[in-house]
Structure 1
Amino acid sequence: MKEGIEAYIIESNLKVRKVTVAHVTGNLATVRFEEGGGIRVPINRLYGSEEEATKELRYKTEIKKPPHNYLNGQLL
């Protein structure tokens, strides 16, 4: 991962956001948002293209969760 390249991150497991890599130290990268501000994230959370990030986001949201009342009968 090089400084100055554009990358994409998944923000709050909801949307894909474009960032610019400002600095890389070890396994962490400082990224800047287009609107200003920035955060440090692990390099494995950065994606090279918007399609890669969108594919990963779809995979995370398609995992089926049990219904809310799944364990209610067993707790009594």
Structure 2
Amino acid sequence: MNTEQILLEKWRILPLEKQEQVLKFVDYLTQTNPDQQSLSAHQPRTSLGEKLLAIREKIMLEQAPITSWEDLEQEISARRGEQD
């Protein structure tokens, strides 16, 4: 079961008043997240664009910390088996 299905299942068992609160909260979250708004407005023109957009959406949903250049270089070196 994916996250969307779990959320919908839990939402359905809530009383109507709580369902309305959830909707208001989701509206608030979508209004305060400009990245998601710009993402939904963008329509890729190629299959590569669609793939890149899907990767971006996954990264945005994970909310992983952004890696610095130094950390990125260390990770590349580690994966290549290079020594410092």
Both structures adopt the same fold (TM-score exceeding 0.5):
no
Q: Which has the higher helix share?
A: 2
- Larger RCO: 1 or 2 (CA < 8 Å, sep 6+): 1
Tell which structure's C-alpha radius of gyration is larger. 2
Determine which structure has the larger strand proportion and give its number: 1
